[in-house]
Structure 1
């Protein structure tokens, strides 16, 4: 099964960085600037590459040109992925992301068609540890665009950190969240999905399952290549988040229905992107924010990712009491 939200991760700077941004000048002297994003994962049923171009002839209207499909997509390019471990090369097929189930967000840029380049995972059969090279041939005697990444291996959970049954989680108490990454993973995003059932006061026995997603830590680094990585989550952060994310009860009846831990790791390339962006976004930063890219030409990121999911976390006893009657969540109608 494909991982949902793959192309939310293709702009994963926001996924890991929050509000950080990297600005670069697009309206300048004419130059062909490819903008490329690809996240290779052994968990996906297909591998995709998004390729757009950013250029504007002097004096052009940027807002108008952005709406023209031919202005942001290449008409005739070939896109290849090569497994450097086996020597096998694969030519990707041009597809419409809207037909693939990955519509492009509405905005200033043309979104129909939403051009992507695809190879089924059953054909490429990449494995953890494989080194993959992307090659984009644009023609017109332009240099090929190349990038490389190493496919991530599995991320393993540590069952005791935290335990699945949480009986006590005081506001100022932290829970350690630990996992064992493969050697290629350098940056991690940690979240809990909080599930609950909700019934309307007119139909108190008919429940609908709902969920909210709590971001524990957007960017945990593994700079020392440790075989165990961890972060911590505070009880007050959880209950405060729930108090804001779930609407106050107007008679709705709610029941806690478990939590799922989700840890997503990415490779060296995304780690470098985030590190470079963070290095110049503080109070003493300069006006020009540096941009990291592992493309030989243009801008963008090719990296790999892996998502570990660990369901079945339960709040019991004092921890459940804090959800039902705590200062942040007492108005949510949990029973």
Structure 2
């Protein structure tokens, strides 16, 4: 039997939470059918937390054996459903006795991404403008069972997409730190010691620092980021010691994400709201309940050297203030999607790639939830500050060998 291969182009949204390269081409074999493309990450919060809008991209895959796919990709009406084509409702599901109850949280509105402050798409395969997304102002409780119902009002076709919101316990009102989703190590009580000077060998020795955090329920993939805060100021080079010129100090921040898409130990399994309920939700069975990554001091200094300009030919100087740690978590649906995507990228040979993971029935994409925790106020050890000024990697960056605090 002869199979004709048609190319379907569809946007794969790169999540702000866990940024990864996105493939633009999906291979489909067979007759035409309606194929929705849905990408959305919902951020559940306790009810007393300030709410931010949720945004979901909903588009359609397209298929035309008579027209070049790259030409079709530049036609907005080939990418987007019409303004009145879809009804999109976010539901919370719960159990009353043996009956599953669906409660509508919000009906999503189609909006312009430009009007929401996101701008047009980058120039490329797809039409850059217009850029439509769907917006919700729903307050989504932590741990909620969620269903996104997408109904095509023209064709009558409905798509029910399920995900389980991450459950992270109560919010610690001292900051964005959940009691059972928290950064355990390192401690903020001592300066982080990424390097020390060995008197015997008279060499700088880089050290590993362990970053460990407790895992919230149903989270399966993480990003680890550091917000590095430092000051820049001007100095009077004509005077001994290059004193700082008053009024020139400016606080700046670099955000470094040394680890992306860290998979927690554990496995996923389909599960319903009850033992007799359909297995519509994917749940994550945790392993040891914590995740850890080590950051070597050399990598820290090389990141600074790659992202800060040299000050050898000007009177700009810098001093370190502090850094904060943030851990972003996402649900098992995204973890499964990333694993499948990685498996497809390593495929060699064969007519077609492996089937991409999706929790969108008869479609493509992913619908999941996210959450974050952070720990603020990390200082650097005195020897680290000394290396910033004198060390081989960072000595041209103009750091003082003391903290600005």
Q: Radius of gyration: which is bigger?
A: 2
Deviations 1:45-76 (A, max 9, x none): 12221111121322223333323221211011
Distance 1:83 1:161 in 2: 37
Gaps of 5+ in 2: 1-11, 46-50, 95-100, 169-177, 196-204, 237-243, 267-285, 401-405
Deviations 1:312-333 (A, max 9, x none): 1111311111222222111101
Alignment of 1:92-107 (within 5 A): 92-107=108-123
Which residue of the partner structure matches residue 244 of structure 1? Answer: 306
- Name the structure with the higher helix share: 1
Q: Is the alpha carbon distance of 1:162 and 1:40 closer, same or farther for their aligned partners in structure 2, counting shifts above 3 Å?
A: same
Determine if contact 2:212/2:291 at 8 Å carries over to the other structure: yes
Which residue of the partner structure matches residue 391 of structure 2? Answer: 326
Which residue of the partner structure matches residue 190 of structure 1? Answer: 224
TM-score, structure 2 length as denominator? 0.72
Alignment length (residue pairs): 323
- Is 1:67 aligned with 2:70? no
Deviations 1:232-254 (A, max 9, x none): 11111111111111111232211
Distance 2:37 2:347 in 1: 29
Distance 2:35 2:335 in 1: 23
Distance 1:50 1:283 in 2: 28
User: Secondary structure of 1:323's match?
Assistant: helix
Which residue of the partner structure matches residue 257 of structure 2? Answer: 215
Determine if contact 1:26/1:55 at 8 Å carries over to the other structure: no
Alignment of 1:5-44 (within 5 A): 10-12=13-15, 15-17=18-20, 19=21, 21=23, 23-25=25-27, 30-43=32-45, 44=51
User: Secondary structure of 2:26's match?
Assistant: coil
Which stretch of the first structure deviates more once superposed, 162-171 or 224-233?
162-171
Q: 1:115 aligns with which of 111, 132, 136?
A: 132
Aligned-residue Cα RMSD (Å) equals 2.7
Distance 1:65 1:291 in 2: 23
Distance 1:144 1:183 in 2: 30
Distance 1:267 1:182 in 2: 10
Bigger relative CO (Cα 8 Å, ≥ 6 apart):
1
- Is 1:314 aligned with 2:360? no
Distance 1:292 1:167 in 2: 40
Q: Is the alpha carbon distance of 1:284 and 1:321 closer, same or farther for their aligned partners in structure 2, counting shifts above 3 Å?
A: farther
Which residue of the partner structure matches residue 148 of structure 2? Answer: 134
Distance 1:285 1:132 in 2: 39
